[in-house]
Structure 1
């Protein structure tokens, strides 16, 4: 499959040449949509300054919707996973040798037997997977929660590039955000978020619990134990302590957790203990990461930082991966929660991810860090890259593509350099699986271009491009029939209410020919244009209010996904 990263968008002349070949390629059947290519180009000013790639790196290391990072190490190889919610396949997994340059190696949950998402809301599904390596049995583990589904479960693999097991449910583990810890003596433990003992004292009152874990049976055993009640200082009513991870460092146990909710008050806090089950005491330097105390009007803010995971390097350095958001205005961001990386400084036996009052930097130059891509084929996940898929193989879709929920049938096929989509029984406005294949929006400013051929057979039939946040908040740019004539239309759906933002009537001589569709995003405004491939771009809708795709307005925990779509 020709999936390319190129520095600039292809010119219209090249696109015309591609469209000129369509006469030699199969045409779609009535109701079926075909796409010649899909191109995504990022255009954010923060990525314009040059860096020395041998000694510096950019933040975020994973731009766009890559939330809740968790990382582990075996030898000199790092592996990282992220939440996927109700998108399929579930839990992207990546490999690195330097924590900066990442190669996608698959998805942990890539079989329907592992992940059924029927009737699960888009921000349900897979929350906060935690990846661990157990040297005692040379096995990798991912433990996570399927919210509104099977609850907490674990999967495992000897080779993280290979197939992972089917889920092993953990019936004794409630709540969310489980994480496994393998101690030096071979014993294993599971920590997680759940309700506190008794009746919660206030809204958002949660607790961190610990269980014994048996790698032989992959089950918890014995009595669970409360180790953090509420957070750092329960008298201040801290909310949503969650995302715990446990470590043993120089003979002491460290527990880190998120606190303050996933919005602008998000933070990361740390506790220590001499014994694995505590008592755990908060350290005086808490929080060890937050941006909530910085001025709201600062330039190019990063907000909502937290949900961190610590990792040591073979030479003894420590780093932290964590999530953050890049608003374009106020608390509005369409890119979702992204993954950042910072070196950790140890101050008075406390791991400090970022000193209080400092902003998350976009360019980082850690001490003694050097680029290492030996044995890694890194993809571009940050900077102003251009990603393009020409659909020139029928073996499989590129790693970057996502489905809304687990597909219930094969609605896509690659034939002779085209992607064909056949409508399913459902559309994107339902909590179901629809004929949609999407790519993450990874920049505040971007351009998406595709070449589509679609012959609608009714006024409900639609084929085109969708900017999708969830079933109630989305924008569709598609070809359909209105008053008996083929048209392109932009339909904006906010809180389930639809408005027509623009319509373009297609002339009779182009009713059955391919069209170029383009979406241009500029912060909270998206524009939609069409061309027949002769440098004749026509605006269909300009500066459409796309703030409805922000987490602040649409709710949930995901970012915007932009992709190809068809419906009956």
Structure 2
């Protein structure tokens, strides 16, 4: 599917914000969209993110104003490009892409940390795809690879450490030996995520350091040649929120882009902790936007806040997927992801036209080969519903962080039940009988209203229910959301909510995901 076809076929409403009063909302790409890399081609901006153990890999998004983004595809969307075997751990898989446009083509370099993976490079004429089969880079070690070209056409690959080697991007062959560049301020932890830019006669090396947790930061150095020697910025780090009580934390892993009007901007990852102490983030690391100015030849990063001063140009919202997917298309929208793989025999849109059929592999979300089709949770409060027919199996609606941290409401054998998995504990916490036939399952994710803080306050509540044909809602369980957070589970991902099959074949007529305003108590309560 081409970019133009994607624009024409992705119907829905645009993301409205407060641009008219001079502000926009951060994050600009909400939910589990970490490690952003951005490039501009003409009036269009394109951005790629990490995808870890999910398939298809590396979501790619398009924007015309750096604030409104729409997913147009996934870079690694077929097995010839990406293999994530069941031995791939959660938060393993695909790490930290760099997206660039050079010589009329899009180039993306990325690390596959799964068995037999390593660094790889793919190209495309259209960022919506198709992307090429990968060129393997066996002599490029480490993670977080970057690509940059000098005026002589030489390609430089820089990676976490921070080291650099010249590269033939067409063959994957390295040219010469790697050399260490600059690894951040003295004592910097985990120097990674390098990006190299040629700006006004200098080569700038932007890196992340401090780890991707609360100590995360962005630092920069410059040189007159791509291979150094590098002079550090006297004001490093140029961005960090460590040691602050700001609502956005873990700021780092950034990339720079020059806008159409000549202004500069930074995309970066961050998190929005909630609840009490230590603050739990449940949506994963998200993509934020900040302005950049240049002072004495160094980048100065503006504030990163939930409400930001809008850019000078007009807002240009793009079509986004409809809240409800009726599974009437001939393929799944690129927002849908699965755990490690999505074999053709595990799903179908044609077995029962207008329904998504899932065929069980693993017996539950505990299993690494579970049949699961989900989308990223992108809002602190949201309402998720689906109509499931379990006539030939058992399955339902799940919220997943990893194999040891997930909650689900499932139906089968005349019963609906809520199952929780927290670390080594797996338990059924509620059951109800249900009549034969399709069942409407419901999940309310309810973020707390402002106020009422205490040290043990949960970040949100997950309410699982059944909606009956007469409109009544039968709530089975309300669960503390902290147990599906990164601070509890560890790892690098965020929540993904979706459909799964545990036994046999399970069919889903539609799936509906809607953000909910925290003040909309009637909608949230399910009354």
**What TM-score bracket applies, with the shorter chain setting the length?**
0.7 to 0.9
Q: 2:437 aligns with which of 482, 489, 513?
A: 513
Cα 1:66–1:53 shift into 2, 3 Å: farther
Cα 1:115–1:426 shift into 2, 3 Å: farther
Query: Is residue 2:421 matched to residue 1:421?
Result: no
Q: Distance in 2 between matches of 1:53 and 1:379?
A: 20
Could you tell me how far 1:192 is from its partner in structure 2?
Answer: 0.1
Within 5 Å, which residues of 2 pair with 1:1-400? 5=12, 51-53=18-20, 56-119=23-86, 120-135=88-103, 138-149=104-115, 150-193=117-160, 207-229=161-183, 231-233=184-186, 237-295=187-245, 301-329=247-275, 330-354=278-302, 360-372=304-316, 377-379=318-320, 387-393=323-329, 395-400=330-335
Aligned residues: 478
Retained in 1: the 8 A contact 2:10–2:319? Answer: no
Q: Distance in 1 between matches of 2:480 and 2:473?
A: 21
Cα 1:367–1:561 shift into 2, 3 Å: closer
Partner SS for 1:228: coil
Q: Distance in 1 between matches of 2:266 and 2:313?
A: 14
Could you tell me how far 1:426 is from its partner in structure 2?
Answer: 5.0
Deviations 1:226-260 (A, max 9, x none): 0024x211xxx221110000001100010001110
Partner SS for 2:145: strand
Q: Distance in 1 between matches of 2:43 and 2:173?
A: 29
Structure-2-length-normalised TM-score: 0.86
Query: Is residue 2:509 matched to residue 1:555?
Result: no
User: What is aligned with 2:513?
Assistant: none
Higher relative CO (Cα under 8 Å, sequence separation at least 6) belongs to 1
Q: 1:467 aligns with which of 371, 395, 399?
A: 399
Could you tell me how far 1:428 is from its partner in structure 2?
Answer: 2.2
Query: Is residue 2:368 matched to residue 1:431?
Result: yes
Deviations 1:414-434 (A, max 9, x none): 2332222221255321222x2
Q: Distance in 2 between matches of 1:440 and 1:343?
A: 27
Retained in 2: the 8 A contact 1:177–1:192? Answer: yes
Retained in 1: the 8 A contact 2:135–2:171? Answer: no
Deviations 1:494-538 (A, max 9, x none): 1131122211122xxx2x222211111123321111122211211
Structure-1-length-normalised TM-score: 0.80
Q: Distance in 1 between matches of 2:311 and 2:68?
A: 17
Could you tell me how far 1:99 is from its partner in structure 2?
Answer: 1.4
Q: Distance in 1 between matches of 2:431 and 2:311?
A: 55
Deviations 1:171-218 (A, max 9, x none): 11111000100123322100001xxxxxxxxxxxxx200111224433
Partner SS for 1:176: coil
Retained in 1: the 8 A contact 2:11–2:319? Answer: no
Cα 1:91–1:268 shift into 2, 3 Å: same
CA RMSD of aligned residues (A): 2.1
Retained in 2: the 8 A contact 1:4–1:387? Answer: no
Could you tell me how far 1:54 is from its partner in structure 2?
Answer: 8.7
Q: Distance in 1 between matches of 2:341 and 2:43?
A: 34
Q: Distance in 2 between matches of 1:145 and 1:363?
A: 33
User: What is aligned with 1:199?
Assistant: none
Q: Distance in 1 between matches of 2:388 and 2:59?
A: 28
Retained in 2: the 8 A contact 1:82–1:92? Answer: yes
User: What is aligned with 1:202?
Assistant: none
Retained in 2: the 8 A contact 1:55–1:371? Answer: no
Unaligned runs of 5+ in 1: 8-46, 194-206, 381-385
Partner SS for 1:243: strand
Q: Distance in 2 between matches of 1:83 and 1:53?
A: 32
Q: Distance in 2 between matches of 1:531 and 1:258?
A: 47
Could you tell me how far 1:546 is from its partner in structure 2?
Answer: 2.4
Partner SS for 1:84: coil
Q: Distance in 2 between matches of 1:162 and 1:2?
A: 15
Partner SS for 1:410: helix
Deviations 1:425-479 (A, max 9, x none): 55321222x22110111111111111112136xxxx6311011001111012111
Task: Give the 4+ runs in structure 1 shifted more than 3 A.
Answer: 1-7, 53-56
Within 5 Å, which residues of 2 pair with 1:514-553? 514-523=438-447, 524-542=460-478, 544-553=479-488
Partner SS for 2:260: coil
Q: 2:383 aligns with which of 447, 457, 471?
A: 447
Q: Distance in 1 between matches of 2:60 and 2:79?
A: 17
Deviations 1:2-30 (A, max 9, x none): 976469xxxxxxxxxxxxxxxxxxxxxxx
Q: Distance in 2 between matches of 1:447 and 1:161?
A: 29
Unaligned runs of 5+ in 2: 1-7, 448-459, 504-527
Q: Distance in 2 between matches of 1:311 and 1:275?
A: 20
Retained in 2: the 8 A contact 1:79–1:93? Answer: yes
Q: Distance in 2 between matches of 1:132 and 1:166?
A: 17
Q: Distance in 2 between matches of 1:164 and 1:181?
A: 19
Q: Distance in 2 between matches of 1:503 and 1:4?
A: 38
Could you tell me how far 1:349 is from its partner in structure 2?
Answer: 1.5
Cα 1:211–1:53 shift into 2, 3 Å: farther
